[in-house]
Amino acid sequence: MKVYFSHGKESGPWGTKIRFLADIAEEMGCQVESVDYSATLDPEVRVAMLQDKLPADNAEVVLVGSSMGGYVSLVSALDYNVKGIFLLAPAVYMPQYAKQTYPVKCAVACVHGWQDEVIPVENVLKFAREQSASLHLVPGDHRLNDSLELIGPIFKQFLYSCLTDKL
């Protein structure tokens, strides 16, 4: 299985969270790729960039997105068959983004910080409720870097479920 990481608006493809989670995915036998979106701040262009990277043969993939990368992962999954989506502080229901509904047909897990100052926790609660997604609210701000030790086991369990079809 291949895991595709999508970073947030102002971060990079191998920031602290992505490197941490990519190490877990590799330890579990997954291939990883982190798309570099630094050339554009346009979320719809980023969606096209991710979709261009995804294999044409519908190979089993998991998408992992942080903030704007969460939006990019969700919107990409609307047009692509994915095994699961793991979201960190996802930019859902943001008024400046084109898509405002995300009816994906796969397992979704969200981790969001109670003190997130960028994406309101209410947006993620609404998304999780509508999607019947697993939701983990943790102490922390938008970056979630202080919560990585909590996030690691959640990600590992989600990835294990995707690998073993126990979703």
Quick one: which of 29, 31, 35 has its CA closest to 13?
35
What is the separation of C-alpha 117 from the centre of its chain, rounded to a whole number of angstroms? 18
Total number of domains in the chain: 1
Q: Which residue has the tokens 């960039």?
A: 49
Four-point Cα dihedral 147, 135, 105, 27, nearest 10: 30
At residue 87, what is the residue type?
L
What digits encode the pLDDT tens for the residues 33-66? 999 999 999 999 999 999 999 998 767 899 999 9
Q: 53: domain range? A: 2-164
At residue 101, what is the residue type?
T
What digits encode the pLDDT tens for the residues 113-141? 999 999 999 999 999 999 999 999 999 99
The CATH number that applies at residue 113 is 3.40.50.1820
Q: What percent of the chain has pLDDT over 90?
A: 90
Quick one: which of 101, 17, 96 has its CA closest to 64?
17
